[in-house]
A and B are shown apart, each in its own frame.
Chain A
Amino acid sequence: MKIELNGQQTELAAATLDQALEELGYSGAVVATAVNGDFVPRGARTETLLSDGDRLEVIAPLQGG
């Protein structure tokens, strides 16, 4: 299926969010996730199913004021 990862069209084989993070190269990274604008807590990633066209945001710490 095709999803939008941080605004970029991305091909994805994984079915669940935790598998998707592995596949997309985020293993071991400190990140938070949102699917279609809704926060998905770390503990809910294994049961969160992704569908074609979903918007996935993967965010991490950055400098801020």
Chain B
Amino acid sequence: MASFYGIDVENRLMLGTAQYPSPAVLAEAVRRSGAQIVTVSLRRESAQAREGQAFWQMIRDLGVRVLPNTAGCHTVKEAVTTAQMAREVFETPWIKLELIGEEDRLHPDVFALVEAARILCADSFQVFPYTTEDLIAGEKLLEAGCEVLMPWGAPIGSGLGLANPQGLRAMRGHFPGIPLVVDAGIGVPSHAAQAMELGYDAVLVNTAVAKAGDPAAMAEGMARAVEAGRLAYEADPIDARDMAAPSTPVMGRAFLA
């Protein structure tokens, strides 16, 4: 069981809710994966279309916990204001804090991230910072009051998998006991399993599921991979080696030469 700010979840796959072909497909993906936490966002609402109202009702009907994000924010002020609005609308202190410093890779601006995290944690938010695998940035985020870290696997929407597995392994080793979530860059279930095998507590996936030909099937595949990877981590995998080591016992073999 994973735990984030005192909330226990059985299912270690977090799903994003954007880019699905339809709300019905999104709902099916959430159901088939068994995801208990989904990310959501905030946008301008038209009084005529009221799209947000319908979406929010659909999410509430799914009975999942929501993790609002500050996607698209580039400054501390924008991110803090967005978080305040999200807390009121979604009625949760949880906020996935995204502060983007570079457009091509949607690279987190870890300096602004720490500053915003400090402000939000002091205001009783429970912050899930979207960060890099930088250890010192992670330490500063924890000092700021964060109790979860969400390093990227690879740039958002890239599907590249874990671009820096050594860095993520180092992060796991450096922050024992801190819930760590690989967020972004996952393309296929084996990437998710790899993150879990490293000892990460959960994986957050959006594009790879939403843009798959069959999002619900991919969501289930991701959930199974996450479970498999977690089991492997808990089972203490063997060390890799270059040379063969016979698995069949050598002793007692018949002499037939």
Contact = CB atoms under 8 A, between A and B. Distances in A.
Given A39-B81, A39-B85, A65-B207, A60 B68 contact: no
Interface string A15-44: 000000000111001111110011101100
Contacts of A7: 44
A60 B55 CA distance: 9
Interface stretch (B11-19, B187-195, B224-232, B249-257): B11-19
A39 B48 CA distance: 23
A25 B47 contact: yes
A34 B18 CA distance: 24
B41 A62 contact: yes
A34 B81 CA distance: 8
A6 B69 CA distance: 19
Bin chain A's interface residue count.
Answer: 20 to 34
Bin chain B's interface residue count.
Answer: 35 or more
A58 interface: yes
Contact of B42 (A24, A42, A60): A60
Given A39-B81, A63-B18, A65-B16, A58 B40 contact: no
15 contacts: A7-B44, A30-B52, A31-B52, A32-B84, A39-B81, A41-B84, A57-B44, A60-B51, A60-B52, A61-B56, A61-B89, A62-B52, A63-B18, A63-B26, A65-B71
Interface of A: 6-7, 24-26, 29-34, 37-39, 41-42, 57-65
